[in-house]
Structure formats: C-alpha cells, structure tokens
Structure 1
Amino acid sequence: MDGVQLQETENGKGALITVSGRLTVRFADQFSPKFRDLEARDGPLQVDISDADRIDTVGAWVLYRLRSVRQEAGKETEIVGASDDMEQLIQQIGDAKLDTRMRPEKRGGPLGLLERFGGHIVEGTLQLGAFLAFLGVTMMALGRTVLHPRRLRGAAIFRQAETVGVEALGIIGLMSFLVGIVIAQQGAVQLRQFGAEVFVINLVGRITFRELGVLMTAIMVAGRSGSAFAAQLGSMKLAEEIDAMRTIGMPPIEVLVLPRLLAAVLAMPLLAFYGSIMAIGGGTLVSWLQLGIPPATFISRLQEVVPITDVWVGLIKAPVFGLIIAVAGCFQGLQVEGNAEEVGRRTTAAVVQAIFLVIVLDAFFAVFFSMLGWL
C-alpha cells in the first residue's frame, strides 16, 4: 500500500483514528500535517497503528510528539496496536529527546571577554605553528629541488612570474606614482613653514627607496597575488584535484607551491624597484609644478642625498616579503575544507596574514639595519 490513510470512527472512549499504510519519511508530507491537526483536537483520542505496514524514525517521532503534546495539554491520548518493535522505536525516540541550543550560550561579563580572548590566543598559536610547519615543509621541498634541478618546473615559474610581476605593473605603477605625489605635496606643506622646501627631495628619496616603495608594493602583491594563490589552491582542494595529484605521485608542494613561491621571490625586487622609481616620478612632478624645482635638479640632488644602502635595504627586504606572501597564500589555500564559503574565508585570512607578517618583518628589518649602521 502506497501512502498513508487515517480513518476516524467513534468508540466508547472518544475518537478512534485508524492508521494504515507506511509511516516513513517518504510519506511524511502526507501524514505529518494530519497528525498536527490531531494535536489541537479536544477530547480523548485513541490512535490504532495495527494496520501500519511500516514505521521509521520519522513516523515514530510524529506519534511520540502527538502523544506528548496532548498529554502535556491534559488531553487523554493512547496509541494502540503497536508491535514490540514499533513500541521500542517510539520509546527510543522519546529517550533521545533532549533540549539543545542551536548556538552555544555565550558567557557575558569579564569572564566571557577573557574566555573569548583566550580562544583567540589559542587559535592564533595553533595557526602560527601550522604556518611554521608548512614553511618548513616548503623549504625542504625547495632544498630537494635545488639538489635535483630537473624537478624544477620552469614553465610554471615563468607563468606565475608573469601573473605576479608583469600583470601587476599597471596597478603598482599607478599606486606608487600617486603615493609619491602625496608624500611630496604633504612634505612641501610642512617644510615650507621652515623655508626648507628643498628637503622634499631628501624626504621622497629616502622614504621611497628604503621603506615605502617596497612596503606598499608588498601590500599590493599580498592583496592581488596572495589572495589569488589562496583562491586557486582552495578551489583545487575542494575539487579534490590536489588529492588526485598525490595519487598519481605528483607532490603538491613541488607542483603548486614552489612555482608560486619562486615567482614571488623573483618578481618582488623588480616590482619594488619599479614602484620606487614611479614614486620618485610622482615626487619629481610635484616638486617641479609646486616648488619650481626642475626634474634635472631633483635627480641630481637625489643622487647626493640618497645613499646606495637605502636602495640595498629595499632590495634585500623585497624577496623576503615575496616569500612570506606566497607561503601565506598557499598555506591558507591548502587549509580549505568543507564548502565554497571556506574559500572566501581563507582568501581573506591569506591577505590579512601576509600583510601582518610583512609589517612585522619590516619592523624587524628596521631594527636590524639600524644595528648595522645602515641609517
């Protein structure tokens, strides 16, 4: 018999509902609304399920709910005709009924704040440990590739270098040019108070080559390429392409991570120097139009006031920043699990993590080069 039928008759104790058919999940949309209506009825009610062909957990739950809701309301309800198995299933459903919260209750007050703060500390520590472990595995894979150069995938490196470097020239050049304009303009406004507008050249030159050029370039690369690395590897992880690569003997670290890492390390110094030159161009333009300093004078003065160590400082930091950005992006991409929402979350985490580590490393570099006397 397909479906479920409910027949109502009267007996000496009140209404008698005879159930026939299958009380299973397949026909839940048929019998569940009918039992809902029975829950609201007044007077004694007797439900006979002796003619039911089959019952599963959904049917048992509907019967248990009918009886418990009516009994709580003080209405007499009886289920008859159940076999031992049916009665046992209904009883198990009742025993498993527990009050639960969809969301855990958050503790308020100072203790709740301390608990959440501690949770963030623990999560951050675990993430840092996993990141360092991934960095170690990547460095080991890089060492194996150096010992066996045939394992290096040159075509993949050049393709990633084109994506990270060549395709980023436009946005990095425009951004750096505008940053140079802003630095020169704001510097001129402040220095004019002391009649020292000429020192705008010192300001633009030193801050651009030493700090701002490489730092702004790293932030742009983190937002552009680091996020792309995380999204690409995360999508491959969801599609089980990475598991397939392992199955056929292709190490994902060597095939996917190393080309991106080497491309970022190679492209970052070039991008940083290019960004610094574009920022100098913006400063030169403002100095010419606003301060009346000709470009030839600007460049000549720049060579006098900017030591070569400033250029080397920026070029030394650039590949380290590129390595951190690539590792952060690939690490977050390979951590993706579950669904597409996780890809977006890990992509955001890759950008935040890369920018944070870049700024922290830049602070360490500042102290280190200061100790070396490269001021």
Structure 2
Amino acid sequence: MDVARTRFEVLRDTEPPGGMGGMGDGNGQSATARWVFTGSWRLTDRLPPAAELIALAGPASPAVALDARGVTTWDSGFAVLLRSLIQQLRADGVQLSLADLPEGIRRLLQLAELGEPPDAAHPAEAGFLKELGLFAIGLGRDLLAFATFIGELVAAAGLALVGKGSFRARDFWGIVQQVGPQALGIVALISFLVGLILAYMGAAQLALFGAQIYIADLVGIGMVREIGALMTGIVIAGRSGAAFAAQLGTMQVNEEIDAYRTAGMAPMRFLVLPRVLALLLMMPLLTIYASVMGILAGLTVAVLVFNLDASAYLHQTVEVLSLTALWVGLIKACVYGVMVAISGCLRGMQCGRSAQSVGEAATSAVVTGILLIVVTASMLTIMFYKLGI
C-alpha cells in the first residue's frame, strides 16, 4: 500500500498550533494545518518524495505543524524526508512548528542546519574594506607560512651539513634525473624560440643602421645574463614545481607524510631538502644549456636571414660576453631554482586531504613559483645595477 496515503494525514485547525501564537487573523479563524505522520517511516517502506506529500496536503497554508507523535518506527530516511520537506516549505514562506517531532529527529535537523552554507539566493554582501581586510589577513598568513617553511628548511640543511641529518642518495639522484635531464627537451625548445624572437626584434632595428652584426651582442648578453635563467625558471616552475606539489600533495592525501613523522623521519629533511638541492644543482646547468640554445637561434637568424658570416657572429659573441655576465646569470638561476622548489614543496605540504586539493596545490605552486621568480628577478636586476655589476 502507498505509505503517503495510508500514514500521512492533514488536519486543518482554527487555532494556531503550539509555538505559532499570533498567527490568527483577529476573528478566530486561522488557515493552519497539522501534518500528521503515523506508523512506520523507514527506507524499506519506500518513502515518498517531499513534493508528493506537499501535493497530497492540498492548498497551501501559511502555517504548518509537523506531528510525528504517532510514528512507531523511523530511520534516517524519515529524517532526510523531513529535512527536504522543511526546506521546500520554508522556501514557500510557510511558518513551521517542529514541537511535535521526536527528540532524536529534532536534534538531527538542528545539526543539519548548523552544517548548511548561507542562503545562496541572499549572499552576505562584503564591502571593499572587508574584502581588503580579508586579503591582507590571507597575505599575512601566506608570508608567515613562507617564512616558517624557509626557517625549517634552513634548520634541516644545517643538520645535514654537520652530519646529523641525511637522506637517501638514490632518492636524490632520482629527483635530479626528473628535474634535469628530463627537462632538456622543453628547455631547448623554449630557449631556441625565445632566441629567435630576440634576434628578429633586435635585427629589425639594427638593420636601419647597417649594424646587424650586433645581433650577437643583443642575443648573447640577453640570454646569458637575463633571459636564459628567467625562461628556464618559468619552465621549471610549470614542470617541476607543479610535480613537487602534486607528489607531496598525494602523499598528504595518503597520509604518508604523517607516517614519516610517526616513524621519526622529518619530512623537511627527507622530502623537501632533496628537492631543493636537486633544483639548486640543476638550474645553473639548465641555464647554461638554455643560453647556448638561444645563442644558436640568434646565429641561425643572422646567417640565414641577414647573410652574416657565422665565424664573425661567434667571434662577436665571444668578444662581448664576460665572466661577470655568466656569473650574474648563474646566481639568478640558483635563486630561481630555490624559489621554485620552495613554492612547490610548500604548497604540497599545505595540501588538503582530497583529490581536488592536490590539483589546487599544483596550480598554486605554479602561480607562486612564477610570482616569486618575477619578484626576485626585479630585485636582483636592481641590486646588480646599483652595484655596477
């Protein structure tokens, strides 16, 4: 038999039910209704949807009292049905009385209300100052977390230097393989294309004065001192920084990092430090490789497009380059590598416990890494300029 028709009844009163005083219209008549539930209301009884009960109740009433005193047995299915029913009635502007529901159901409904998000139809409006304050608080927390992370990393590195902390060499060289040799292809492609662009842009202006030979100066100094390290850092941020965040984030989800701590193995020493050292080692080498590819791209443009002599181009490149420019590029490469490693590991260690959190951590690692590279590049450029280097 149909549960909705045999165990659900609507009684219409002339006086408001308890807890709804003041609902009358002043002449003794009040369009109130008492929805009575009786018998068994369990999942095995094939409970009806809330919309069916509302349809059976007939014309809408401004006030409804839910009465489940006659219910003999119920389970979570009945609580879910009542919750859906309450939401729909409140959305229609109906005032409800829950005084005649079992105490257990009332507690469940109260817990459900506590866990609900704010009404999406009427979101709380936040002014500009509030948004600015929240942004400042979030920025302060990020800076504090970043500073704390660097402090822990320096402490772990200090212990490793004095021989009190170590990590497996096999793990370290595996990470070196990932961030170094496996990245040669994408670094070569990006650097060669950037060198082509730089050569064409410079040649378009230098050709006005018949000084195409100085393409070698532009491409050589630009790639060795600035662009080689910058483009390598950005490529590594999108490749290795995201990989670090995803790896550590997945370990966070699988509770492997908690297992490290339980076993007395500091995650900073065994997971973060090897990755930072691997990028610190490989970034200068990748930068030299990227600079060579950029210079070869400039040579290609100069020889094939502007009919310059290859030996003259290479001689001009050697003449204009200096060890100072090389060291400036390598110092920047080391700084960029550390920034990428820190951002990737930090976001990975901050990852939540879900698959979505892993994706968010990888995305945040790339954004943070590129932001830190741009900021440090600006600071280092200004610093070297002030020092006359």
Distance change (3 Å), C-alpha of 1:220 and 1:59: closer
Gaps of 5+ in 2: 15-32
Partner Cα separation in structure 1 for residue 312 and residue 138 of structure 2: 54
User: Per-residue CA shift, 1:225-246, capped at 9, x if unaligned?
Assistant: 0000001111111111111121
Give 1:182's aligned residue.
197
Partner Cα separation in structure 1 for residue 226 and residue 188 of structure 2: 16
SS in 2 for 1:52: strand
Distance change (3 Å), C-alpha of 1:290 and 1:49: closer
Distance change (3 Å), C-alpha of 1:26 and 1:191: farther
Greater share of residues in helix: 1
Distance change (3 Å), C-alpha of 1:35 and 1:225: same
Q: How does 1:1-375 map to 2 (within 5 A)?
A: 6=6, 19-23=37-41, 29-30=47-48, 32=50, 35-41=53-59, 51-55=70-74, 58=79, 61=82, 65=86, 86=102, 100-102=118-120, 105-107=123-125, 112-148=127-163, 151-374=166-389
SS in 2 for 1:21: strand
User: Per-residue CA shift, 1:301-344, capped at 9, x if unaligned?
Assistant: 11111222101101112112111110100000111114211211
Aligned residues: 362
Distance change (3 Å), C-alpha of 1:48 and 1:195: closer
SS in 1 for 2:6: strand
Partner Cα separation in structure 1 for residue 109 and residue 305 of structure 2: 82
Partner Cα separation in structure 1 for residue 125 and residue 340 of structure 2: 37
AA in 2 matched with 1:247: T
Distance change (3 Å), C-alpha of 1:195 and 1:62: closer
Distance change (3 Å), C-alpha of 1:93 and 1:127: closer
Q: CA deviation at 1:122?
A: 2.1
C-alpha RMSD of matched pairs (Å): 4.0
Q: Tell me which moved more, 50-59 or 221-230.
A: 50-59
AA in 1 matched with 2:6: L
Preserved contact between residue 172 and residue 278 of structure 2 (Cα < 8 Å): yes
Q: Tell me which moved more, 93-102 or 200-209.
A: 93-102
Gaps of 5+ in 1: none
Preserved contact between residue 7 and residue 39 of structure 2 (Cα < 8 Å): no
Q: CA deviation at 1:102?
A: 3.5
TM-score of the superposition, structure 1-length normalised?
0.82
Partner Cα separation in structure 2 for residue 215 and residue 133 of structure 1: 26
AA in 2 matched with 1:213: G
Partner Cα separation in structure 1 for residue 230 and residue 34 of structure 2: 80
Q: CA deviation at 1:93?
A: 5.9
Partner Cα separation in structure 1 for residue 221 and residue 98 of structure 2: 88
Partner Cα separation in structure 2 for residue 86 and residue 265 of structure 1: 65
Distance change (3 Å), C-alpha of 1:106 and 1:290: farther
Distance change (3 Å), C-alpha of 1:293 and 1:249: same
SS in 1 for 2:71: strand
